[in-house]
Amino acid sequence: MTDRKATLSVGDKSIELPVYSGTVGPDVIDVRGLVQEGVFTYDPGFVSTAACESAITYIDGANGVLLHRGYPIEQLADQSDYLEVCYLLLNGELPSPEENQRFHETIKNHTMLHDQMRNFFNGFRRDAHPMAIMCGVVGALSAFYHDQMDVTDDEQRQITAHRLIAKMPTIAAWCYKYSIGQPFMYPRNDLSYAENFLHMMFGVPCEEYKPNPVLAKAMDKIFILHADHEQNASTSTVRLAGSTGANPYACIASGIAALWGPAHGGANEAVLDMLAEIGDESNIDEFIAKAKDKNDPFRLMGFGHRVYKNFDPRAKVMAETAHEVLTELGLENDPLLKIAQRLEKIALEDEYFVKRQLYPNVDFYSGIILKAIGIPTSMFTVIFAMSRTIGWFSHWNEMVSGDYRIGRPRQLYTGSPKRDYPAK
Ligand code: SDX
């Protein structure tokens, strides 16, 4: 922290506020002292608000840069794997080969669920949205590990991280199996993290499932690209829930709930629904016009971002992966991909989108890959939640292992002034 100051004039008052600089990125003005001056800052949607200090992820939206503990997302997607990225996000450094091997083994040994958890699934209708099931089952994990919930104990936080990383694929795959009336598949320790997920999703007890290595690599890349993203809406939800001292499983469940919205993690499902609704390249102009019409709530799903005012670096990697997967499956002429590619080209040339710096985001191509692999659209955000669990947990862990206060924003009150209850 430095001794630099910003001066704010409010009425006849001149208020001096500390200014801090991070490693990189915008400086921040510490406005905590304003409440003593009788004024609040006003920032609905937190467009210009740094809610915390963090060392986990850095985004430079103007230049399309995303770093996890300093490492560019493109390099991690190309050279690492999801479990190594989990270790990096959680611990701050890449593991040594021995640490990496030990971490992979640890995660394998936590992939099973307590067998009584099967009953939670049975309480849902078969046609329940998988996100509703995941939200309920993950929240219920807190009922099974209550004895290891001392958030001040680093060792208990570590084992909770291992349990969440390991169990989310099992829960996610079981959400899918439950929805199609197929038996749950138990995890296999001879498979990689991504292979195991595909096995639990598409395997059946009647025969051995042999994961396609190209699809498993694509899944692992999707997990890496969705792992963390600074103080996005769902991560901020997890931090706020965690600031009350709530147990980590309940906090992660709050993140799942926040991610579900179509403006956030639900966008990948909404992209596929949009492409299906467009149906043919000849209809694209009509939908571009709808997206630009202020009187029409329709937005081009998979485009735009609160922070990226340039290409989302994850979208570029995702577009390459989409091509690899569709070629592997002989779907390179997939009509949805053709519509998506043409939509992207038109949008990037259209003045409305260019002026507002609306580029494809991480959700634009991910759905095309997942659909090609055979995953239903209702499962897309479940996979996003599974991957983002490490990001949510790492931010929660960073907060509770340091100094923090309960999050309690204020407001601009525009309701009725004091008035008396009418005499009877
Ligand atoms: C994720 O925060 C994160 O990091 C999120 C995420 C992560 O990894 O956690 O990156 C994941 O959520 C990606 C975003 C997925 N959502 C979508 O693809 C849904 C479609 N996108 C929009 O809803 C929107 O772009 C947001 C929600 C992503 C961003 O909203 P903002 O920052 O509040 O921007 P805005 O709504 O103020 O839009 C600015 C202008 C407006 O027009 P004007 O009022 O200035 O005339 O751009 C327009 C908007 O109408 N606009 C769009 C648009 N997105 C913004 N117009 C048409 N189509 C769009 N997609």
Residues 311 and 258 in one domain: no
Question: How far, in Å, from the CA of 404 to the mean position of ligand 1?
Answer: 30
Residues 244 and 271 in one domain: no
Instruction: Answer whether residue 309 shows pLDDT above 70.
Output: yes
Percent of the chain with pLDDT over 90: 88
Which span out of 103-112, 325-334, 367-376 was modeled with the highest average pLDDT?
103-112
Q: 352 CB less than 6 Å from ligand 1?
A: no
Q: How far is CA 102 from CA 98, 99, 130, 223, 224, in A?
A: 6, 5, 32, 20, 20
What is the rounded average pLDDT of the residues 95-118?
Answer: 96
Mind telling me the catalytic residues? 305, 363
pLDDT tens-digit readout, 234-272: 999 999 999 999 999 999 999 999 999 999 998 888 999
Strand order across the 28-29 sheet: 4-10, 13-20, 28-29
What is the rounded average pLDDT of the residues 192-197?
Answer: 98
Q: CA angle, 172 as apex, 298 and 399 as ends, to 5°?
A: 85
Instruction: Answer whether residue 294 shows pLDDT above 90.
Output: yes
Rounded Cα distance between 308 and 314, Å, is 11
Structure tokens at 83: 């479990």
Rounded Cα distance between 207 and 211, Å, is 13
Rounded Cα distance between 302 and 361, Å, is 5
Report the number of distinct structural domains present in the chain: 3
Is 348 a domain residue? Answer: yes
Closest CA to 317 of 220, 392, 232, 389: 220
Q: To test the ligand 1 pocket, which listed residue (46, 234, 260, 303) has its Cβ within 8 A of the most ligand atoms? A: 303
Q: Name the least confident of 2-6, 250-254, 321-325.
A: 2-6
Q: Name the least confident of 61-70, 334-343, 410-419.
A: 334-343
Residue that terminates a domain, selected from 264, 299, 331: 264
Is 110 a domain residue? Answer: yes
Instruction: Answer whether residue 330 shows pLDDT above 60.
Output: yes
Helix, coil or strand: residue 5: strand
Q: 288 CB less than 6 Å from ligand 1?
A: no
Instruction: Answer whether residue 334 shows pLDDT above 90.
Output: no
Task: Give the confidence band of 202 by pLDDT, cuts at 50, 70, 90.
Answer: very high
Is 306 a domain residue? Answer: yes
Closest CA to 302 of 314, 293, 320: 314
**pLDDT the model gives residue 241:** 98
What is the rounded average pLDDT of the residues 34-54?
Answer: 95
Rounded Cα distance between 92 and 94, Å, is 7
Q: CA angle, 418 as apex, 417 and 422 as ends, to 5°?
A: 120
**pLDDT the model gives residue 261:** 94
Q: Which domain holds residue 287?
A: 267-373
Instruction: Answer whether residue 18 shows pLDDT above 80.
Output: yes
**pLDDT the model gives residue 347:** 85
**pLDDT the model gives residue 160:** 96
Q: To test the ligand 1 pocket, which listed residue (299, 318, 381) has its Cβ within 8 A of the most ligand atoms? A: 299
**pLDDT the model gives residue 1:** 54
Cα four-point dihedral sign 114, 117, 118, 121:
negative
Residues 235 and 272 in one domain: no
In one letter, which amino acid is 118? Answer: R
**pLDDT the model gives residue 59:** 97
Residues 33 and 155 in one domain: no
Atom of ligand 1 nearest to the CA of 364: 18
Residue 375 near residue 222 (C-beta atoms within 8 A): no
Residues 80 and 61 in one domain: no
Mean pLDDT taken over the chain: 95
Task: Give the confidence band of 332 by pLDDT, cuts at 50, 70, 90.
Answer: confident
Residues 164 and 34 in one domain: no
Q: 391 CB less than 6 Å from ligand 1?
A: no
Is 394 a domain residue? Answer: no
pLDDT tens-digit readout, 168-184: 999 999 999 999 999 99
Question: How far, in Å, from the CA of 305 to the mean position of ligand 1?
Answer: 5
Is 324 a domain residue? Answer: yes
Task: Give the confidence band of 2 by pLDDT, cuts at 50, 70, 90.
Answer: low
Structure tokens at 378: 């209702």
Instruction: Answer whether residue 103 shows pLDDT above 80.
Output: yes
Query: Under 8 Å CB-to-CB from 131, ≥6 apart: which residues?
Result: 256, 260, 266, 378, 381, 382, 385
Rounded Cα distance between 232 and 223, Å, is 17
